[in-house]
Amino acid sequence: EECVRRDDRPLIENKGKFVLCKASSGHKHALEEIFGDARIMSQLQDTKVAREVRVLAKFMRMLDTDPHRAFYGFSHVEKAQEHAAIDSLLVTDSLFRSDDLGTRKKYVRLVEETREGGGNVYIFSSLHVSGQQLNQVSGVAAILRYPLPEIEEIQINDDDFVFDSDDDQSQDDADAQLRGDLEGMGF
């Protein structure tokens, strides 16, 4: 009503895009609470964030229920792409902002090849909770069209994982943190 009185056209035109919801706090982790509410998700079902949350949840479920169709880490995902098996590619935006040009190029190539092969690509914001969760499992993951059990035998390289450059962690500490994070997510 206030926007009508002030004749605020942008607000009036986008009124249907606003959703009022309640959260226990104003911190980022409260977004998980909001996106866990089925009533809110039904209103947001066509938004980019909602699609990303759904596909990440599907990936996490698939790791448990059908592990030969869910892989993470560049080596595994790249091998799946070589078989044209990727249905959904999940990548965090931080991989495209890497200081290393070679790293940026390999992820751009992976995205382009996935799209050319008919796969869906989801680029997650590393500022969003879902992007942070994806970063905990290397920053890149894939849901495959069909099982590829032979991919499991590929050795994962340390280069497959994204570590925050701000942290003064040793590799052992980073590995321990990753294991703890995976356990915290139920793996």
d(CA 119, CA 142): 10
Mean pLDDT rounded to a whole number for the chain = 82
Taking the model in full, what pTM does it have?
0.67
Q: Find the mean pLDDT for residues 21-49.
A: 79
- The pLDDT score that the predictor gives to residue 165 is 46
The per-residue pLDDT for range 102-130, each reduced to its tens digit, is: 999 999 999 999 999 999 999 999 888 88
Indicate the residue type of 44: L
d(CA 101, CA 140): 17
Question: What domains can you pick out in the chain, each with its CATH number?
Answer: 26-184 (3.30.1330.30)
Host H or E run for residue 122: strand 120-124
Host H or E run for residue 123: strand 120-124
Q: Find the mean pLDDT for residues 62-83.
A: 94
Cα→Cα distances 90→64, 69, 111, 170, Å: 17, 14, 9, 27
Residue 45 confidence class, pLDDT cut points 50, 70, 90: confident
